C-alpha cells in the first residue's frame, strides 16, 4: 500500500519530500573520504550524467611518471579537501581506476582565470574555497556555496542533462569558465581536441575527444543558459600552428567558433541585474546534435526546481523497490547502498536510441537501452545478480549492450572492463560470460543462441591473458602473465558459467567441453600446501612463494590465502583439494582470524588496513563470497558470524564509512544481499546461499508484481545467528533459496538467536550447488 | 554527331582509348614543376579522391617557424624531385596554401620502415627513388615504378575511392605502410588522433582527425585488399600514457584496434606467391561506415582495369562538352586546362547524401550534391562563370553547398575560403556573393530569397576585415587591416553583385542600398595620383606609398598599379576617376609595357618572374580581367593583342608551363574563356566581353542540348586581331555577348586579321555593362 501511494505521488508530480520515504535516506557523502571513491554530486538512476564537484585531479605525467594520489581522485572528490575546482558532468562511482570529469563548469566573479590553480594557493586559479557547512546533497541533487565569490551552486540532473543553478552575490558581475582541458586521470595532452560553438546568446555546443583510460572518448555537449551571454571568449593554452586567415581562429573575444587542444572558454552574464543563472548541459556521445536533442527532450522548458524534484522522484521510484524497517542509521546505510548499485552501469545513448559503439561508429539501439561502464571483474559477483533480481528490465538491457559490444569487437569478445565505447582491458577473466549465464539462469529475456556464441567466442581468444595456454594445458603458466594463478581460477569459474548456460540452452557438446574446463582450477593447486599456487610451463610451482603477499605472487590484487577460495562453481571439489571439511574450515577460520602483515599489501593500492578482517580482504572483490563458503561445511553457522562482522565494520553510515572502493556498486550490492539474508555465491546457478539478515524487516517489490517479505524475528546486536528459516510458513532446512522461490514472493522468516544453531544445515541435502 | 557517338560508347561501356578523343589530351604533369601546384595523380571529375604521389612535404614547425619550401608542396609533388614518399588520397589542385595529403600508402619490400626518410638519404625511410622514365599519367590514372624495390604502382579513382594496384617483384615478400602521420602542410602534431581497425584479413577501416589549414578535418577510410593480410602491426611514434590493461593497446602485432597520435601501420602480404595486390580505399568525412558504404557502392567487385576505364570514361564524358580543332599542342593545353577546371570544387558527401557540415555535425544533402574546396577569392572570376556555362548542374549544386555553409555558419556568412567543412578565412572579400549573383544572372536554379538573405547577411558582419568601418565610412581604414585598400575595392564589387541580384529578384530597397556601396571604390582613389591608395581613418592617404610594391602597401598580393583596375562593376566610373579615356589607356599600356622591379615581389610567394608581363601579374588573380578593360576605351583592339601574349607566355603545354598557381581551376578557366574569344569580366552581369580567340574552331555542347560553334576564320600566329564578329550570320558590333545568346547555340564567327580593326567597338552603344 505504501508503495502504491508513493508511486501515485510521483505520477501526479507531487513535490518529493514527505513522499520520498526511501530517497531521503540517501547520503551521497558516504564513501567520499578514504577509499570509497564515491562522488557526492547529482545523478538519476543509471543516468549518463553524474554532475559533481571535483576537488582536485592530481594529473599523471605523460612521461609515465605515476602520481600515487591520482588513485584518490577516481571520483574527483575527496571530502578532506577545502577547495572546489569546478563541476564536471561525468564520474565513475567507486572505481579503482580513474577517468572522465568531462565538461567542467566553474562560476566566478571578478577577473577571469584560465587555470585551476593549486589547493595550496587557491587564488592562483579559478578554483575556490568552500566549507562543508554550506554543502548538502541527496539523491539527485547537490549544493554548496563557493566561499571566495559567495556564489551559491545547486546541481541536479536528468539521465542526459546536467542542470546547474548559480546564484551570484548581489551587484557582482559574474562569469562562467568552461574548461575543456580539465579531467580526471588527466595528463598533459589527454584532451586531443575540443571545439566550442556559440550558436546563440543562450546556446553553446561543443565537444571534446580525450585519450584517457578510455582510449578514445567522445563527449559532446549542448549548453543552454537562462540568461543571454553578454561577452565571451576563450584561451587555447596550446595554440595550433595555423590560426585562420588573418589569425581569425585566434580571436579571443566573441568569435563563435573556438577550437583547440587545451581550450578554456568563458562567458559573461549580467548577474548584477539577474543574479540567478540556470545552465542546462545536455550530453551525448554521438554529436552536438544528439546533445541538443537530449537537452530538448529531457529539460526544455522545465525549471531547476522541477528538474530537481523529478530527479528525486526518479530515485524514489527506483529505491522504493525495497522497503525496510530499522534504525535511521541502518536506513541511511541501506538506501545509500541501494543508490550506489544504480549509478553504474549508466545509459550511453541518445533519447532516440543513437549511440556510439565500440567501433566508434554511430549505431541505433533497436529494442534496448544501451549502457556503458562495465566493471565486470567486480560486478559479476553481486551487482548484476542484484539487478537481475530487482531490476530485471535494466539487467536485460545491460546484457543486450554487452552483446552489441561483442558484435562490434574486432576481437569477437564480450566486454572485459569497458566504458564510453572503449575496452580498457582492465583486470582479468571474461566475466561477462558470468553475467550472461546468470541472466539465462534467472530467466531474463536474452537471445540465448547469440549469448552462447558470444560466450564461446570470448573464451576462445588465444592471445588474451594466457588463454591459449590455459586451453592447451589446463592452466596459465606464470611465464605468460604475472597473474597466471588467478587467471586460471577465474577462467575455470567463467568456463563453468558457459557450461551452465549451454546446459540450459540444450547444447550438450558445448556444456561438456566447458564443464571439463571448469575443473582446471585444480591444476593450480599445490597439494603440498593445499592452496592455489602459480605454475610454470614445465609444471613446477613458483618458488619461493608467499601465500600472504598480495603483489607479485601470481594473483591479481590478492594473495593465495584469499584467492584459493575462488572456486564458487565447485566448493565441494575445493574442499577435497584442501584436505576435506575440517581443513577447509580451518583455512577459513585462519583467514578471518589471523593478521595480514602490512608488507603484504603496502604496494597494493586496492588493499588498505581499512578493509581487513584478519587476513580476509573485504575492500577488494575476490573474497566477497568467502564468508558464505561455510555453508558447504559442517559449520555453516560461521557464515552468520562473519557477515555480521563485515557489515558492522565496513559499512558504516559515515563519510569514511566504506571499507574500500565501492566498485560500481559491487560492494554495495554485497551489502544489500547480505543484510537481507542471502547471497549469490555462484552466479550462473539459480541459488542464493542463506546467511544471516542484519535488518529486522524488509519488503522487496519484484517487477512481476509479487512482494517478498523478509522478517528477521528477534534480530538484535547480540542476536546475529539464525535459529530457523521459514518460507511462507514452511520450514526451510536447506542453506539456499532458488530464484524461482524468491520470484513467487511471500514471506521469508528468519528466527534470530544469540547462539548459533550448530546442527542446522549440516545434512548433505541442505547444501548449495557444487559441480 | 561525334559527341553522340562518344556518349553512346561510354554508356555501352566501350573501352576508352580510340574513343577518348578529348581525355587523351589531358597531361596531368603540366604545372607540376614551378609554381603551378597541380598534381599528377588520379581523380575523376569533381571527385572527392585525388590519389597522387607525394614527393615531399617540407613540414612546418609547430613553433611557428615558417619553412619557405612548404609553399612548393601545396599539391605534394614537384617534378624535379627524385623520390616518392608514398601515395595519399587528397590533394588540392593548384592552390597557394597547402593542406591534405591524407591516408598515405607506400608499398615496400624487405624491412619495414616507419619514417619517410629524407630526399638526401632515401634509404633512411620508406620513401623510394623513381625515374620519370617509368612514370605516366592521364585523365584518371597514374603509374610509376619504385626503383628501390622494383614495385610497379598503378593508381586510379572513383569519386570516393582511391584504387591502387601494386605489382611486387617476383618472389619478394611485400608489405604496405599506412602512415597516418604523413600530411601536406604538416607539422609536429598536425594529426590529432588516428585509429585503425582490422575488420578482417581483407578489410581495414580507420580515420584521422587533423588540425591543419582546415582547423578540424575528419578523414575516414575503408580499405579493401584483394589478398589477405598475413601479419600486421603498427608503431605509435607518440605513445599515449595509458596503454590498456596489460599494455594491450601497445601490442604491436596482430592487435586489430590501433590508435595514436602518430600512428604508422603495416600489413604484410604473400606477394611472393601473389605479386599483384589491388587496394581500394573508400573515403568519407562522416565515418568508417560511410567510407565502407562508398567503397561498396563505387568499387565493389570491379577490377582495377574496369575502374581505370570508368575513370577515363568519366573524364571523356565531361571533357567532351567542348570539341575543338587545333594543333596537338593546343589540344593538350586546352583539354588539360578544361581538366583542371573540374578537379575542385570536389564532392564532399557519401553516396547516400550524408555529409559533414561546417558545424562538424552530420547532415543529409536533400536534393543536391555537397561540394567543398571553395577557393573563392580566385574562382569567382572565371571558374564559376565557366561552370555556370558548361556545367550548370554542378554549378547549381555548388551554390546549394554554399547556402548550406551559410546556414551552418555561426557567423551567418557564406564561405570565404572553405574546405573539408572548415572556413579557413584565407584571402579577402566575400566573393561567394559574386558566385550566387552570377548564378542568378545566368538563370541557374537557385533559391533566390535564401540566396539574397545569405548575401546580405554575409556582407553585414562588422568584425570581418574592416567591414563595419567600410559600411560606416565608405572604406576600410588602413589601421584596421593591412589590406584595407584592396578590401574596399573587393567589397565594392561584391556589393554591386548583391545589388544586381536584388534587382533581378525585385528587391529594390536592398538593390538601392548595395548600389550605393558599389561606388565605395571611389573612396580609396587618390585624385593626385589617379590610383587606388589606402587611407587612414582620418581620411589621409598612406604616405610614403609605393604603387609598384606588392607587399605592405594596403593591397593583398598585389600593388596599386594592378589593383586600381579592380572595378569590374563600373569601368566607366573608374575611367573617369583615372582621368578619362586617354589616361585610362595610358595606365593600361604602362601596366603591360613597363617592368616590375624584383624588390616589388621578392617577398610575395604568389608572384614570380614566371608570371609577369611587364608590370601585369597574370600568375595571381586580381589582374585577370584587366586585359579586357580596353573594351570600354577607344582602343578595344588592344585586348586582342594582350590576351594572345598572355596565352602564349603563361599557358605552355609543358611541365613548367603554367605561369602561376592554377588556383583550383581559375587560371585554367581564364584560358578556356579567352581562347574561345570571350570572358566574364564582371560576374553578376549576363555579359561576356569579347576578346580574340586563340583556337581556330570549337563546339560547345550546352546542357540544354544546343551547340555553340566558335569559328576563328583566318586565325594564325600572326592573325591575332578580330576584324569582325558574326552570331548566326548576323554581324555583332557590340563588344560583348549575353549569356542568353550563348545558350541559344548556333555559330559565333570571328574573322581574324593581321592588323587591328581600330574603329570596331568604339561607339558608346557597343560597350559592355558599367554601373
Residue B60 pLDDT > 70? no
* Shortest alpha-carbon distance between residue A256 and chain B (Å): 6
CA-based nearest residue to B549, from B589, B490, B597: B597
**Residue A198, min C-alpha distance to chain B (Å):** 7
Question: Taking Cα atoms as reference points, which of A588, A410, A582, A555 lies closest to residue A489?
Answer: A555
> What is the pLDDT at residue B65?
62
Q: Is the pLDDT of residue B629 over 90?
A: yes
Please tell me the distance in Å from B206's CA to the nearest CA on chain A.
10
Smallest CA-to-CA distance from B100 within B144, B158, B39, B155 is with: B39
Beta strands per DSSP E along A474-597: 525-526, 531-532
Distance, first Cα to last Cα, chain A: 43
Q: Note whether A257 contacts B62, CB cutoff 8 Å.
A: no
Residues of chain A with Cβ-Cβ distance to B286 below 8 Å are none
Question: What three-state secondary structure class fits A338?
Answer: helix
C-alpha triplet A739, A621, A32: angle, nearest 5°: 105
Nearest to B212 among A197, A242, A361 (CB): A242
> How far is A425 from chain B, CA to nearest CA, in Å?
4
Selection from B522, B607, B500 nearest residue B566 by Cα: B522
More confident residue, B716 or B186: B716
Is A67 or A161 the better-scoring residue by pLDDT? A161
Contacts of B425 in chain A (CB under 8 A): 244-246, 248-249
Cis peptide before A591 (omega within 30 of 0): no
Q: In the structure, what pLDDT confidence band is assigned to residue B5 with cuts at 50, 70 and 90?
A: very low
Residues of chain A with C-beta less than 8 angstroms from the C-beta of B282: none
> How many interface pairs between A and B have CB atoms less than 8 angstroms apart?
125
pLDDT band for A140, please (50, 70, 90 cuts).
very high
Give the pLDDT confidence of B633-657 residue by residue, as tens digits.
999 999 999 999 999 999 999 999 9
The minimal CB distance from A60 to the residues B64, B241, B256 is found for: B241
Test A481 with B416 for CB contact under 8 angstroms. no
Q: Do A240 and B465 touch (CB under 8 A)?
A: no
Q: How far is B424 from chain A (nearest CA, A)?
A: 5
The answer to whether the beta carbons of residues A103 and A89 sit under 8 Å apart is yes
- Are B193 and A198 in contact (CB < 8 Å)? no
* pLDDT exceeds cutoff 70 at B10: no
- Considering only CB atoms, A244 lies closest to which of B197, B244, B425, namely B425
Q: How far apart are CA B755 and CA B721, in angstroms?
A: 6
Question: Do the chains contact at A465 and B216, CB–CB below 8 Å?
Answer: no
Q: Is the pLDDT of residue B11 over 50?
A: no
Tens digits of residue pLDDT in A575-626: 999 999 999 999 999 999 999 999 999 888 888 888 899 999 998 899 999 9
Inform me whether the pLDDT recorded for B608 exceeds 90: no
For residue B256, the chain A residues in CB contact (below 8 A) are 410-411
Distance CA A234, CA A249 (A): 11
CA B207, distance to chain mean position in Å, is: 25
pTM beyond cutoff 0.90: yes
Residues from chain B contacting residue A426 (CB–CB below 8 Å) = 245
Q: Confidence class of residue A63 from pLDDT cuts 50, 70 and 90? A: low
Chain A residues within an 8 Å CB radius of B244? 215, 423-425
Nearest to B425 among A64, A246, A288 (CB): A246
Of A64, A241, A361, the CB nearest to B241: A64
A417-455: b (≥16 Cβ within 10 Å) or e: bbbbbbbbbbbbbbbbbbbbbbbbbbebebebeebbebb
Q: pLDDT (tens digit, 9 = 90+) per residue, B478-537?
A: 999 999 999 999 999 999 999 999 999 999 999 999 999 999 999 999 999 999 999 999
Closest partner residue to A288 among B211, B249, B361, by Cβ?
B361
**Inter-chain residue contact A287 with B257, CB threshold 8 Å:** no
Kindly list the distances between the CA atom of residue A714 and the CA atoms of A718, A719, A747, A749, in Å, as whole numbers in the listed order.
Answer: 10, 7, 16, 11
* Contact check, Cβ <8 Å, B256/A410: yes
Average pLDDT over residues A498-511: 98
Phi-psi region of A645 (alpha: psi -120 to 50; beta: other; left: phi over 0): alpha
| Nearest chain A residue (CA) to B466 | A246
CB contact under 8 A, B192 and A261: yes
Which of A241, A418, A465, A490 would you mutate first to test chain B, the one with the most B CBs within 10 A?
A241
Cβ neighbors of A733 (< 8 A, separation 6 or more) are: A760, A761, A763, A766
Contact A240 B211 (CB under 8 A): yes
Say which of A197, A426, A463 has its CB closest to residue B410. A197
A521, three cell numbers:
582450477
Residue A316 in grid coordinates: 524514489
Between CA A22 and CA B13 the distance in angstroms is: 75
What was the pLDDT predicted at B242?
A: 80
Determine the pLDDT at residue A193.
97
Burial label for B353, CB within 10 Å (0-12, 13-18, 19+), is middle
- Give the residue, B585 or A11, on which the prediction is more confident: B585
pLDDT digits (tens, 9 = 90+) for B397-445: 999 999 999 999 999 999 999 999 999 999 999 999 999 999 999 999 9
* pLDDT tens by residue, B227-262: 999 999 999 888 777 888 888 887 768 899 999 999
Average pLDDT over residues A422-443: 98
Mean pLDDT of chain A: 94
Give phi and psi for B525, each to the nearest 5.
-95, 130
Question: Among partner residues B60, B213, B362, which is closest to A287 by beta-carbon distance?
Answer: B362
> Cα–Cα distances in Å, from B296 out to A575, B203, B222, B293, B407?
59, 12, 10, 5, 31
Element (H, E) at A138: strand A136-138
- B361 Cβ contact list (under 8 Å, min separation 6): A287, A288, A289, B408
Q: What is the pLDDT of residues A531-566, one digit of tens each?
A: 999 999 999 999 999 999 999 999 999 999 999 999
Q: What percent of chain A lies above the pLDDT cut of 90?
A: 90
Residues of chain B in contact with residue A265, where contact means CB-CB under 8 angstroms, are none
Mutate to test the interface with A, among B257, B419, B463, B467 (most CBs of A within 10 A): B257
The cell numbers describing A496, all together, are 563453468
pLDDT attached to residue A177 = 98
C-alpha cell recorded at residue A739 = 530464484
The predicted structure's pLDDT at residue A65: 62
Joined grid coordinates for residue B97: 596554401
pLDDT in tens, B668-724: 999 999 999 999 999 999 999 999 999 999 999 999 999 999 999 999 999 999 999
Q: What pLDDT shows up at residue B63?
A: 59
B190 contact residues in A (CB cutoff 8 A): 241
Contact A714, A744 (CB under 8 A): no
* A60 contacts in chain B (CB < 8 Å): 241
Share of chain B above pLDDT 90, in %: 90
pLDDT tens digits, A388-407: 999 999 999 999 999 999 99
pLDDT at A170 over 80: yes
The residue of A67, A190, A215, A483 whose CB has the most chain B CBs within 10 angstroms, and thus the best one to mutate to test that interface, is A215
Please compute the mean of the pLDDT values over residues B599-623 and round it to a whole number: 90
Among partner residues A61, A259, A361, which is closest to B288 by beta-carbon distance?
Answer: A361
DSSP B168: P
- Measured between alpha carbons, how far is residue A524 from residues A625, B177, B713 in Å? 20, 44, 98
**Inter-chain contact A361–B244, Cβ cutoff 8 Å?**
no
**Band of pLDDT at residue A768, cut at 50, 70 and 90:** very high
Contact B259, B150 (CB under 8 A): no
Cβ proximity of B439 and B399 under 8 Å: yes
State the complex-level ipTM: 0.94
Amino acid at each position: 500500500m505504501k508503495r502504491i501511494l508513493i508511486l501515485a505521488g510521483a505520477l501526479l508530480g507531487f513535490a518529493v519530500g514527505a513522499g520520498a520515504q526511501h530517497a531521503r535516506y540517501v547520503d551521497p557523502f558516504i564513501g567520499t573520504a578514504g577509499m570509497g571513491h564515491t562522488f557526492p554530486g547529482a545523478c538519476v538512476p543509471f543516468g549518463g550524467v553524474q554532475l559533481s564537484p571535483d576537488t582536485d585531479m592530481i594529473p599523471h605525467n605523460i612521461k609515465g611518471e605515476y602520481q600515487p594520489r591520482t588513485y584518490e581522485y577516481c571520483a574527483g572528490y575527496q571530502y578532506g579537501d577545502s577547495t572546489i575546482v569546478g563541476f564536471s558532468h561525468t564520474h565513475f562511482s567507486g572505481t579503482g581506476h580513474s577517468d572522465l570529469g568531462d565538461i567542467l563548469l566553474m562560476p566566478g566573479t571578478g577577473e577571469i582565470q584560465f587555470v585551476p590553480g593549486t589547493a595550496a594557493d587557491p587564488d592562483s586559479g579559478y578554483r575556490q574555497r568552500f566549507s562543508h557547512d554550506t554543502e548538502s546533497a541527496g539523491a539527485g541533487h547537490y549544493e554548496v556555496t563557493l566561499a571566495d565569490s559567495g556564489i551559491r551552486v545547486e546541481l541536479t540532473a536528468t539521465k542526459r542533462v546536467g542542470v546547474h543553478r548559480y546564484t551570484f552575490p548581489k551587484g557582482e558581475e559574474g562569469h562562467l569558465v568552461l574548461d575543456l582541458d580539465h579531467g580526471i586521470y588527466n595528463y598533459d595532452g589527454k584532451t586531443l581536441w575540443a571545439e566550442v560553438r556559440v550558436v546563440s546568446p543562450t546556446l553553446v555546443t561543443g565537444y571534446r575527444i580525450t585519450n584517457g583510460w578510455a582510449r578514445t572518448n567522445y563527449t559532446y555537449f549542448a549548453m543552454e543558459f537562462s540568461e543571454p551571454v553578454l561577452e565571451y571568449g576563450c584561451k587555447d593554452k596550446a595554440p595550433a600552428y595555423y590560426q585562420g586567415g588573418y589569425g581569425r581562429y585566434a580571436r579571443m573575444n566573441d568569435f563563435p567558433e573556438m577550437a583547440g587542444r587545451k581550450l578554456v572558454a568563458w562567458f559573461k552574464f549580467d548577474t548584477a541585474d539577474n543574479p540567478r543563472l540556470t545552465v542546462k548541459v545536455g550530453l551525448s556521445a554521438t554529436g552536438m546534435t544528439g546533445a541538443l536533442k537530449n537537452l530538448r527532450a529531457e529539460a526544455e522548458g522545465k525549471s531547476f526546481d522541477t528538474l530537481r524534484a523529478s530527479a528525486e522522484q526518479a530515485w524514489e521510484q527506483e529505491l522504493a523497490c525495497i522497503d525496510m524497517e530499522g534504525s535511521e542509521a541502518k536506513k541511511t546505510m541501506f538506501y545509500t547502498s541501494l543508490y550506489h548499485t544504480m549509478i553504474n552501469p549508466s545509459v550511453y545513448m541518445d533519447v532516440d536510441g543513437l549511440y556510439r559503439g565500440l567501433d566508434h561508429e554511430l549505431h541505433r539501439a533497436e529494442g534496448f537501452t544501451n549502457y556503458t561502464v562495465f566493471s565486470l571483474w567486480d560486478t559479476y559477483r553481486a551487482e548484476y545478480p542484484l539487478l537481475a533480481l530487482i531490476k530485471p528490465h535494466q539487467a536485460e538491457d545491460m546484457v543486450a549492450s554487452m552483446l552489441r559490444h561483442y558484435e562490434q569487437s574486432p576481437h569477437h569478445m564480450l566486454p572485459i572492463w569497458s566504458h564510453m565505447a572503449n575496452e580498457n582491458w582492465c583486470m582479468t577473466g571474461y566475466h561477462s560470460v558470468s553475467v550472461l549465464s546468470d541472466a539465462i539462469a534467472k530467466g531474463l529475456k536474452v537471445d540465448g543462441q547469440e549469448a552462447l556464441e558470444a560466450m564461446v567466442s570470448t573464451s576462445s581468444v588465444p592471445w588474451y591473458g594466457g588463454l591459449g595456454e590455459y586451453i592447451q594445458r589446463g592452466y596459465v603458466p606464470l611465464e605468460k602473465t604475472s597473474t597466471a594463478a588467478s587467471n586460471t581460477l577465474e577462467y575455470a569459474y567463467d568456463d563453468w558459467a558457459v557450461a551452465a548456460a549451454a546446459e540450459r540452452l540444450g547444447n550438450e557438446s558445448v556444456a561438456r567441453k566447458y564443464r571439463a574446463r571448469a575443473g582446471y582450477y585444480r591444476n593450480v593447486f599445490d597439494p603440498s600446501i593445499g592452496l592455489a599456487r602459480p605454475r610454470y610451463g614445465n609444471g613446477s610451482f613458483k618458488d619461493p612463494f608467499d601465500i600472504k603477499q598480495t603483489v607479485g605472487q601470481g594473483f591479481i590484487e590478492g594473495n593465495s590465502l584469499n584467492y584459493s577460495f575462488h572456486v564458487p562453481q565447485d566448493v565441494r571439489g575445493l574442499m577435497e583439494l584442501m584436505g576435506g571439511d575440517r581443513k577447509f574450515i580451518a583455512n577459513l577460520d585462519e583467514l578471518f582470524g589471523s593478521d595480514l602483515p602490512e608488507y603484504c599489501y603496502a604496494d597494493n593500492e586496492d588493499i588498505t588496513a581499512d578493509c581487513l578482517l584478519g587476513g580476509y580482504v573485504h575492500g577488494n572483490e575476490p573474497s566477497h563470497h568467502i564468508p558464505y563458503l561455510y555453508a558447504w561445511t559442517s559449520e555453516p553457522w560461521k557464515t552468520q558470524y562473519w557477515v555480521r562482522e563485515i557489515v558492522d565494520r565496513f559499512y558504516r553510515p559515515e563519510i569514511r564509512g566504506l571499507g574500500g572502493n565501492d566498485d560500481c556498486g559491487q560492494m554495495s550490492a554485497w551489502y544489500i544481499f547480505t543484510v537481507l539474508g542471502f547471497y549469490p555465491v555462484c552466479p550462473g546457478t539459480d541459488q542464493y546461499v542463506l546467511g544471516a539478515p542484519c535488518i529486522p524487516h524488509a519488503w522487496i517489490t519484484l517487477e512481476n508484481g509479487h512482494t517478498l517479505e523478509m522478517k528477521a524475528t528477534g534480530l538484535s546486536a547480540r542476536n546475529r545467528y539464525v535459529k530457523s528459516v521459514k518460507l511462507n510458513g514452511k520450514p526451510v532446512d536447506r542453506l539456499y533459496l532458488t530464484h524461482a522461490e524468491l520470484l513467487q514472493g511471500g514471506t521469508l522468516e528468519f528466527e534470530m538467536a544469540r547462539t548459533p544453531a550448530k546442527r542446522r544445515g549440516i545434512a548433505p541435502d541442505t547444501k548449495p550447488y557444487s559441480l
